């Protein structure tokens, strides 16, 4: 049973992170730079044959320049992917939000090798979702380099929603998503395209504290909604009485045996629920009720404020710590240890484990971006980097190769 005791513990942990640090590890030689970029990157994914896809998070004010969001990295250059037309959306320019990428929040290569793009359908941080056609999942056939399917998500998306990220339970024919703007989980039937919102209103999909980075709570910029800049980790919400930014159900992972879905808000505190319960709730409205389904949710790990996660073949999770510039390793029993701490790991967002046993860590500096600047100006220091570290274990086999 989920209880407020877990949130009380989370509050205590949140107080600790804002205590003056005694020291910060300078650089760890195990951390190697893979890419140097002029634009924040909040996610990369690779294919077994060596292709690399990069997602830009335009929190540095460059969205208005009409630059692409999703690229394939070819010979040191980002090439719009799947093509320039899909990357051509510009607010107010007459672009069709149903047929272009409005603002992609995450991307990943699926178990079958296709590239999935999670489009929030919101043209800027804090801006309303363009319903019904804006929010969608765009599936790209990476052999033909063309869009093979578009899942329309308008029926499970609200004006203040943010489709945040996706994970797969391929054998069950399901995918799971988080809504970081209006906290909820979403279960998608991969064959029919039907989707259902679950657990909205449950404590586990809410944020007890604001998101934070480098020891400071994030506050919304007054120009965030109109700037066209996107957030990599979540649209979040801001109450009328303050400018603090809350990011609700955000990171998620599926265990290698597909038994559990792990998820958490960006401010930390990871929960888990059996995928069988979610799949049952997909078909049964009684099982989907908050009282019934919520009773099966349990606290899993007292994780820190986080930009992104990954899971390996042994079931260990990797959780970035946006305040300590670190990555934590959370074992399958919920215990955790610090994998690496390095001053260069500034807001590590969606991580990726490749087939060579390397953990990719995009240092996106999102907390320094325009949406979280009270002055409305970017504090991001360029160039930005995507790093990797050898962890000696490959990805979860049900997630990707």
| The pLDDT value given to residue 221 | 67
Q: How far apart are CA 178 and CA 230, in angstroms?
A: 17
| The pLDDT value given to residue 58 | 81
Which range has the worst mean pLDDT, 13-27, 29-43, 323-337? 13-27
Specify whether the CB–CB gap between 267 and 246 falls below 8 A: yes
pLDDT above 60 (res 227): no
Q: How far apart are CA 384 and CA 362, in angstroms?
A: 8
Give percent above pLDDT 70 in the chain.
87
Interval 292-342: pLDDT, tens: 999 999 999 999 999 999 999 999 999 999 999 999 999 999 999 999 999
| The pLDDT value given to residue 125 | 80
Please name each of the domains of the chain with its CATH number.
4-390 (2.120.10.30)
Q: How far apart are CA 114 and CA 328, in angstroms?
A: 29
Specify whether the CB–CB gap between 280 and 274 falls below 8 A: no
Strand pairing partners for 23?
none
The pLDDT of 218-225, averaged and rounded, is 68
Strand pairing partners for 353?
359
Q: Classify residue 5 by burial, with Cβ atoms within 10 Å: 0-12, 13-18, 19+.
A: exposed
Any residues with CB less than 8 A from the CB of 93 and at least 6 apart, and which?
none
Q: What is the DSSP letter of 383?
A: S
pLDDT above 90 (res 267): yes
pLDDT above 50 (res 142): yes
User: From residue 201, how far is each of 6, 198, 224, 279, 286 by CA, in Å?
Assistant: 16, 9, 26, 19, 16
> How far apart, in Å, do the first and last CA atoms of the chain sit?
35
Q: How far apart are CA 213 and CA 165, in angstroms?
A: 20
Interval 354-365: pLDDT, tens: 999 999 999 999
pLDDT above 70 (res 128): yes
Q: Mean pLDDT over all residues of the chain? A: 90
Specify whether the CB–CB gap between 306 and 385 falls below 8 A: no
The pLDDT of 204-233, averaged and rounded, is 73
Q: How far apart are CA 258 and CA 177, in angstroms?
A: 15
φ and ψ at 91, to 5 degrees? -60, 135
Q: How far apart are CA 132 and CA 134, in angstroms?
A: 6
The pLDDT of 45-64, averaged and rounded, is 87
| The pLDDT value given to residue 93 | 75
| The pLDDT value given to residue 13 | 44
| The pLDDT value given to residue 133 | 96
The pLDDT of 253-271, averaged and rounded, is 99
Give percent above pLDDT 90 in the chain.
80
Strand pairing partners for 232?
none
| The pLDDT value given to residue 18 | 43
Q: What is the DSSP letter of 281?
A: H
The pLDDT of 237-254, averaged and rounded, is 78
pLDDT above 60 (res 391): yes
| The pLDDT value given to residue 60 | 74
| The pLDDT value given to residue 393 | 98
| The pLDDT value given to residue 2 | 56
Any residues with CB less than 8 A from the CB of 185 and at least 6 apart, and which?
176, 177, 178, 179, 197, 198, 199, 205, 249, 252, 261, 263, 278
Closest C-alpha among 97, 35, 98, 106 to residue 69? 106
Q: How far apart are CA 234 and CA 274, in angstroms?
A: 24
| The pLDDT value given to residue 3 | 53
């Amino acid at each position: 049973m989920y209880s407020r005791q877990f949130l009380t513990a989370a509050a205590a942990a949140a107080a600790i992170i804002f205590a003056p640090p005694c020291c910060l590890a300078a650089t760890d030689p195990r951390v190697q730079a893979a890419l140097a970029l002029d634009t924040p990157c909040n996610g990369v994914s690779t294919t077994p044959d060596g292709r690399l896809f990069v997602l830009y998070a335009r929190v540095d004010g460059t969205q208005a320049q009409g630059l692409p969001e999703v690229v394939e990295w070819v010979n040191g250059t980002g090439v719009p992917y799947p093509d320039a037309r899909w990357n051509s959306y510009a607010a107010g320019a007459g672009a069709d939000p149903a047929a272009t990428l409005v603002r992609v929040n995450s991307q990943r290569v699926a178990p079958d090798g296709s590239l999935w793009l999670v489009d929030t359908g919101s043209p800027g941080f804090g801006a309303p979702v363009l319903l019904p056609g804006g929010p969608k999942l765009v599936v790209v056939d990476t052999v033909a380099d063309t869009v093979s399917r578009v899942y329309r998500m308008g029926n499970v998306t609200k004006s203040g929603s943010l489709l945040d990220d996706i994970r797969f339970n391929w054998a069950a024919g399901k995918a799971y998503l988080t809504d970081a703007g209006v906290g909820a989980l979403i279960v998608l039937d991969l064959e029919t395209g039907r989707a259902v919102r679950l657990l909205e209103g449950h404590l586990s999909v809410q944020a007890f504290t604001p998101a934070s980075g480098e020891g400071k709570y994030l506050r919304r910029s007054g120009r965030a909604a109109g700037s066209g800049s996107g957030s990599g980790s979540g649209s979040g919400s801001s109450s009328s009485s303050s400018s603090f930014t809350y990011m609700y159900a955000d990171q998620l992972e599926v265990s290698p045996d597909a038994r559990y879905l792990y998820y958490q808000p960006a401010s930390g505190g990871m929960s888990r629920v059996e995928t069988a319960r979610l799949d049952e709730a997909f078909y049964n409205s009684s099982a989907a009720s908050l009282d019934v389904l919520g009773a099966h949710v349990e606290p899993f790990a007292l994780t820190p404020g986080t930009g992104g996660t990954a899971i390996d073949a042994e079931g260990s999770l990797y959780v970035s710590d946006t305040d300590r510039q670190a990555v934590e390793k959370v074992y399958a029993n919920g215990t955790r240890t610090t994998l690496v701490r390095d001053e260069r790991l500034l807001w590590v967002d969606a991580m990726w484990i490749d087939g060579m046993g390397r953990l990719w860590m995009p240092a996106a500096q999102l907390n320094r971006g325009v949406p979280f600047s009270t002055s409305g100006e970017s504090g991001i220091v360029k160039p930005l980097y995507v790093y990797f570290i050898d962890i000696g274990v490959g990805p979860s086999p049900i997630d990707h190769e």
